[in-house]
Structure 1
Amino acid sequence: MSTKPTTAVEIVLPGQVAPEGLQVTQRQLPPLGPGQALVRVEASGVSFAEQQMRRGKYYDQPAFPFVPGYDLVGTVTEIGAAVDAALIGRRVAALTKVGGWSSHLVLDAADLIPVPSALDPAEAETFVVNGITAWQMLHRIAKVERGQTIFVHGANGGVGSTLVQLARAAGIRVIGSASARNAGAVEALGASPVDYRGDVAQQVRALAPQGVDAVFDHVGGPGIVDSFELLAPHGTLVAYGTASTKNDEGNSRLPVLKLFGQLMLWNTLPNKRNAHFYNIWAGKRNLTRFRNHLAEDLGKVLDLAANGTLHAQVAARIPLSQAADALTLAESGTVTGKVVIVPDPQL
């Protein structure tokens, strides 16, 4: 007897609205095609991407209206043809970009990554897009080695707190920026905190007079110059966002294009330092390799979480129907870790 529901509850972003403009709706679930699986969503995160999307500022977001939700953790309840039956009942993670703020979602089975049974769904969710991003920037892009020093902007945030923990687990010294109220949380993760409201560059130089081996910057804007100048010889700047411009008027792609241009310019100079822009979707043209990297990298992160090396930073668990409250809290800048959307009790 099929357990497949006929409808899904989902949160729709109808346009450029305040968080309270999100809409709780229902839609008919499509039939499963070959290679597909139905996932009952148990956790989906609120990332900076959704904060930009509601402003129409995410670089390649779809046209309004759409369902946000960059990633999820859930359980497979039904499968289509040509899918291994062992997947039914398995807890999995998926990177979706959109669609995760839903009670149920049809996904390609090839995009589902196993989640260790020891992990709570909300805890595991904090490591999906955050864990992949942090792992790949640290180990695939910057290739930071044991004993080196890095600087992490926003070390109390979702990606930042994960990046700090991964670096410390690899024997890397971390300096991280945060507000004064979150300095203790950053220190507890193993990083040396600096106050982002002060002269960040000066504070970092006081802790690392010779420069740092890598900087991870999601802020962008004019401050990207300071990030590059903090690098030691042969150091690497990894930019992965333009948070400082999220409220700017005008073309949403312009800040990113300006950042690309600046990074490319630095890479033409004989300064022995490197600059990269990290995009989690880069390389998707080779879909097999893309999926293999995601599965490999997230698998490593989830194993570290399951054995207690990494600790999930769940800022709050908020029911799906209250997604507006979840987005408001995430945008407040007052929390450490990630706000997670979980099912309503009746769903």
Structure 2
Amino acid sequence: MESAHLVQVVLPGIVDPEGLQIRQAAVPDAGPGQIVIAMEATGVSFAEQQMRRGRYYDQPPFPFVPGYDLVGRVLATGPGVDPNLVGRRVAALVKVGAWASHVVVDAEDAVLVPDGLSATEAETVVVNGITARQILHRRARVRAGQTVLVHGAGGGVGSVLVQLARAAGAKVIGTASPRHHEALRELDVIPVDYRDGDVPSRVRELAPAGVDAVFDHVGGRSVIDSWHLLAPGGTLVAYGSASTRDVTGSKQWPVMKILARTWLWNTLPNGRHAHFYNIWAGRALNKNRFRACLRADLTEVFAAVRRGDVTARIAAQLPLAKAAEALRLAESGTVSGKVVLTP
């Protein structure tokens, strides 16, 4: 093991971004079946914004190191791991712990990044790309010729989702703020201003018979509107509750309400389907299947980036020591693309 220092960003409690702390220690060793990744890029996602408010529904107790995903080079391998992995660029989904110069993960959770993709390009589509591809193809099973509605089409998941949906041959309607509309039109997406007083009416004008799928990260009232916009046989995939980011009270309740609604809607005899998507669902039941799906989906997203079907959008790139500034920037709502942290 080289004599580098481990540098971590610690979230000590419910604090402003400036309350993040920097911690240094010795670089950890890889245990059996593990690898040490020297981080090259990690990202600021909506999850970290929720976590610093204590609002992410299954976050660990404070203090902890945030960071949902990372890309980096394998620095060391533990017993039982192919030593030829050393030096290879990999990506990993970890939920917490990625805002660090070095991260230990199970080797089975690492996905090889293909040659030709930079670390920052790959980082923009790890959690966002896996989420987008799984809700599009594993949950909604969108096909060519269908019409889909993507809420937050200018956001992290939404921007990848609209590109994957267009690549699949779907007609795409995307809600976003006006500053994203021109970029969406360039992607052949029909933009709708999410601040319009009556988004459902505007969507019905564009799709009188309803849409075949809705992807909703907003939660709250939006989920109900999304359900009513479905065509017969259509599918709603709810995958967040962004509208409750600054709400006080139980952090589980917004998710429980969505789960209850999707269960109820699925009992109705109208042929429509509703899902609440959790990227970690199934891991506890079948870890091998979970890993196989994740690897297959992320590998396909990387291939889509290389083909040009998906453009990696990097909003800003800051060093790990400026994580507070990066978090503040991501929360500002003024940037397009992913805010990336580097060592």
What secondary structure is seen at the aligned counterpart in 1 of 2:266? helix
Alpha-carbon shift at residue 16 of structure 1 (Å) = 0.6
Alpha-carbon shift at residue 85 of structure 1 (Å) = 1.5
Which runs of structure 2 are paired with 1:299-318 in the superposition (5 Å)? 299-318=299-318
Deviations 1:13-33 (CA, angstroms, capped at 9, x unpaired): 111111111112112333221
Q: Which runs of 5+ in 1 are unaligned?
A: none
Alpha-carbon shift at residue 190 of structure 1 (Å) = 2.5
Deviations 1:150-186 (CA, angstroms, capped at 9, x unpaired): 0000001110000011011111111001111111122
Alpha-carbon shift at residue 202 of structure 1 (Å) = 1.4
- CA distance 1:147–1:4, change in 2 (3 Å): farther
Q: Is it true that 1:341 corresponds to 2:324 in the alignment?
A: no
Alpha-carbon shift at residue 332 of structure 1 (Å) = 1.1
Which runs of structure 2 are paired with 1:1-347 in the superposition (5 Å)? 2-3=1-2, 5=4, 7-198=5-196, 199-285=198-284, 286-343=286-343
Alpha-carbon shift at residue 334 of structure 1 (Å) = 1.6
Partners of 1:229 and 1:61 lie apart in 2 by 32
What secondary structure is seen at the aligned counterpart in 1 of 2:294? helix
- TM-score scaled by length of structure 1: 0.96
Alpha-carbon shift at residue 306 of structure 1 (Å) = 1.6
The residue type equivalent to 2:166 in the other structure is: R
Partners of 1:22 and 1:186 lie apart in 2 by 35
What secondary structure is seen at the aligned counterpart in 2 of 1:137? helix
Deviations 1:226-255 (CA, angstroms, capped at 9, x unpaired): 111110000000000000011111111011
Q: Which runs of 5+ in 2 are unaligned?
A: none
The residue type equivalent to 2:258 in the other structure is: L
What secondary structure is seen at the aligned counterpart in 2 of 1:162? helix
Partners of 2:187 and 2:63 lie apart in 1 by 38
Aligned length: 341
Alpha-carbon shift at residue 4 of structure 1 (Å) = 5.5
- Checking the alignment, whether the CA contact within 8 Å between 2:148 and 2:214 is kept in structure 1 is yes
Deviations 1:120-156 (CA, angstroms, capped at 9, x unpaired): 1111101100110000000000001111010000001
Partners of 1:185 and 1:332 lie apart in 2 by 19
- Checking the alignment, whether the CA contact within 8 Å between 1:165 and 1:190 is kept in structure 2 is no
What secondary structure is seen at the aligned counterpart in 2 of 1:294? helix
Alpha-carbon shift at residue 119 of structure 1 (Å) = 0.6
- TM-score scaled by length of structure 2: 0.97
The residue type equivalent to 1:95 in the other structure is: L
Partners of 2:83 and 2:144 lie apart in 1 by 42
Structure 1 runs (4+) deviating above 6 angstroms are none
- Checking the alignment, whether the CA contact within 8 Å between 2:75 and 2:86 is kept in structure 1 is yes
- Checking the alignment, whether the CA contact within 8 Å between 2:28 and 2:36 is kept in structure 1 is no
Partners of 1:190 and 1:85 lie apart in 2 by 45
Partners of 2:253 and 2:220 lie apart in 1 by 11
Identity in percent:
61
Deviations 1:318-344 (CA, angstroms, capped at 9, x unpaired): 11111111111111112222111112x
Partners of 1:341 and 1:188 lie apart in 2 by 28
Partners of 2:134 and 2:193 lie apart in 1 by 26
The residue type equivalent to 1:329 in the other structure is: L
Alpha carbon RMSD of aligned pairs, Å? 1.0
Partners of 2:123 and 2:217 lie apart in 1 by 20
Q: More displaced, 98-107 or 178-187?
A: 178-187
Q: More displaced, 258-267 or 234-243?
A: 258-267
Q: More displaced, 208-217 or 300-309?
A: 300-309
What secondary structure is seen at the aligned counterpart in 1 of 2:74? strand
What secondary structure is seen at the aligned counterpart in 2 of 1:268? coil
Partners of 1:128 and 1:66 lie apart in 2 by 21
